[in-house]
Each structure stands twice: as C-alpha cells, then as structure tokens.
Amino acid sequence: MTLEMILGPMFCGKTEELIRRVEREKVVEKKVIAFKPSIDTRYSRDYIKSHTGAKLQAIPIDHASKIFWHLNRNPNVQVIALDEIQFFDEEIITLCEEYANSTKMEIIASGLNLDFRREPFKFKDSKKHIGEIMPLAHITNLRAKCTYKMENHEICDKGADYTQRLVNGKPANYDDPLILVGASQDYEARCLKHHFIEGRDRIHVHYWKSSK
C-alpha cells in the first residue's frame, strides 16, 4: 500500500489535487471509495468539492471506525480517498497504520497539517494530531498565495503556508475553538509575516515560565 498525503493551508488546492489523483486512478479502472467528515457540509453533504467547483462523490462519516465497516462491505476497493483528514477522530491513525501493511490498497488523503494557531492539527476530541500519520506517508506540500492587504492596499502575494482564522474581519484569539468549518469569510491564506494569532505570545510566555 501507499499512503499519499496532500497537505497545506486553506486555498492551496488540496481538495482539487485529491480529486485529480482519484480521477487518474479511475482511468485505469481502479475501484475507488471516498470519505469525508460529516462535519464538513460547506458545499455538499455527499460530495467532496473544491473551492473551484471540482467534485467527487463521497460517504460522510462521523466516526473513522465506520470506514472499516464500509471497506468490509466493499472488499474489491483498491483506492481510499479521504478529504479534510484533520477533522476525523484519532481512529483514522489506526486505519492508516493498518493499511500501511497492506499491498492491496492505496490511500490518498488531503488536509490541513497546521491549525490556525500554527500548531499540528489535533484530531477530534484527541491530543493526537496529524503528525502521527505523516511518517507513514509520501507527502505533497502545497502553498497558497498570501492575501493580506497591506497599508497601501496591495495584496502581499507571497507564498502562504498558514491559515488565518478571522472573527469579524480580525485575527482570531489563541483561545478560540479549534474547529470552525468555513470558507473565505472566515479564513485567509497567509505568509508567516502576515499570520497573526491574538494572545499566542501570552500563552507561550506563560508556558515557558511555568516549565522552568
């Protein structure tokens, strides 16, 4: 088995690349099954859809263990597609580890490697994060374009590796909820210079002092 992960910030084309790779597998008549976290209903419940409109039919899942159930009912599946992998629970790690030892199946997954705090994205209700899977995978890192508008009203346009969470148009606070499913009205792609997290320095200074 091969595990491919397509990672990067929002608006870098992760889902579009996932769909492109799945369609390539379909050309050689491989049997594909796609899954998406049920929390992601931005564009469609039953389709993986990119911001540009590309789409792939998918099964919405509220717990990663249900993927095993679907695979047992479809023993001829050769390719598993997973979109927004960071929104699954930590059972997704077990899935990737188990099929990493298989020679019959390929997993192609896309998702955010970092949350809006610039920290590894934690799985649902877990301290474990996407970094637990990355050593098993062949990774493609995609970059977006920084859309920060500077004082002269020009857009930065540098390569962006981070996702900026916005609340009423301003940077989110470090203590804000981790998961907020949204699109351009809630998030922007940003370079490091223009990625801001209100309260982050306070949190990190407190941690540094308490650990001495």
Task: Compute the distance between CA of residue 44 and CA of residue 15 in angstroms, rounded to an integer.
Answer: 14
Catalytic residue among 17, 84, 106, 188, which? 84
Other residues' Cβ atoms within 10 Å of the Cβ of residue 158: 15
The DSSP letter of residue 172 is P
How far is 16 from 13, CA to CA, in rounded Å? 5
CA distance 93 to 64: 9
Residues pairing with 163 in the sheet? 189
Q: Residue 192 CB: number of other CB atoms within 10 A?
A: 12
Backbone φ and ψ of 18, nearest 5° = -60, -50
Q: Which segments of the chain are extended strands (E)?
A: 2-7, 32-37, 47-49, 55-57, 59-61, 79-82, 106-111, 138-141, 144-145, 159-160, 162-167, 170-171, 187-190
Active site residue 132: no
Which residues have a catalytic role annotated?
84
